[in-house]
Amino acid sequence: MLGLKNGPIQPTVRKMLGQRGFPMSMADPAHSSFQYVDKISTYWNKLRYHCGLKTPVEQIRRQIPTEEFDYQALSDCLKDYARPRDRISDLIKSGVIVRVKKGLYIFGSDYRRGPYSREVLANLIYGPSYVSLDYALGYYALIPERVETVTSITCAKTRSFLTPVGRFTYWAVPLEYYRIGIHIVEISEKRPFLLATREKALADKVHRDRGAGIGTPRELEEYLFEDLRLDPGTFRELDVSAMNEIANHCRSRKVALLASFLRRFKESSHE
**In a domain? residue 209:** yes
If asked whether residues 126 and 158 sit together in one domain, one would say: yes
* 4-17 pLDDT tens trace: 444 444 444 444 44
If asked whether residues 129 and 189 sit together in one domain, one would say: yes
If asked whether residues 223 and 261 sit together in one domain, one would say: yes
**In a domain? residue 3:** no
Mean pLDDT value across residues 178-192: 91
* 73-131 pLDDT tens trace: 999 999 888 888 999 999 999 999 999 999 999 999 999 999 999 999 999 999 999 99
Query: Residue-wise over 100-133: b if at least 16 C-beta within 10 A, else e?
Result: bbeebbbbeeebeeeebbbbbbbbbbbebbbbbb
**In a domain? residue 221:** yes
Residue 23 has pLDDT above 80, yes or no: no
* 27-76 pLDDT tens trace: 444 555 545 545 555 554 444 444 444 467 888 999 999 999 999 999 99
Going by pLDDT thresholds of 50, 70 and 90, the confidence category of residue 1 is very low
Residue 151 near residue 126 (C-beta atoms within 8 A): no
If asked whether residues 181 and 225 sit together in one domain, one would say: no
Q: Tell me the pLDDT of the chain averaged across its residues.
A: 85
pLDDT of the residue at 263: 96
Going by pLDDT thresholds of 50, 70 and 90, the confidence category of residue 19 is very low
Number of domains in the chain: 4
Report how far residue 224's alpha carbon sits from residue 133's, in angstroms, rounded to the nearest whole number.
Answer: 13
Residue 199 has pLDDT above 70, yes or no: yes
User: Which of 176, 196, 216 lies at the terminal end of a domain, its last residue?
Assistant: 196
If asked whether residues 95 and 154 sit together in one domain, one would say: no
pLDDT of the residue at 58: 86
If asked whether residues 223 and 263 sit together in one domain, one would say: yes
Residue 192 has pLDDT above 70, yes or no: yes
* Degrees to nearest 5, angle at CA 132 with 253 and 229: 70
**In a domain? residue 95:** yes
If asked whether residues 105 and 148 sit together in one domain, one would say: no
**In a domain? residue 5:** no
Residue 138 near residue 120 (C-beta atoms within 8 A): no
If asked whether residues 96 and 138 sit together in one domain, one would say: no
Residue 223 has pLDDT above 50, yes or no: yes
Mean pLDDT value across residues 174-185: 96
**In a domain? residue 96:** yes
Domain of 245? 201-268
**In a domain? residue 146:** yes
Count CB-CB contacts under 10 A for residue 25: 12
If asked whether residues 256 and 228 sit together in one domain, one would say: yes
Report how far residue 16's alpha carbon sits from residue 196's, in angstroms, rounded to the nearest whole number.
Answer: 55
**In a domain? residue 210:** yes
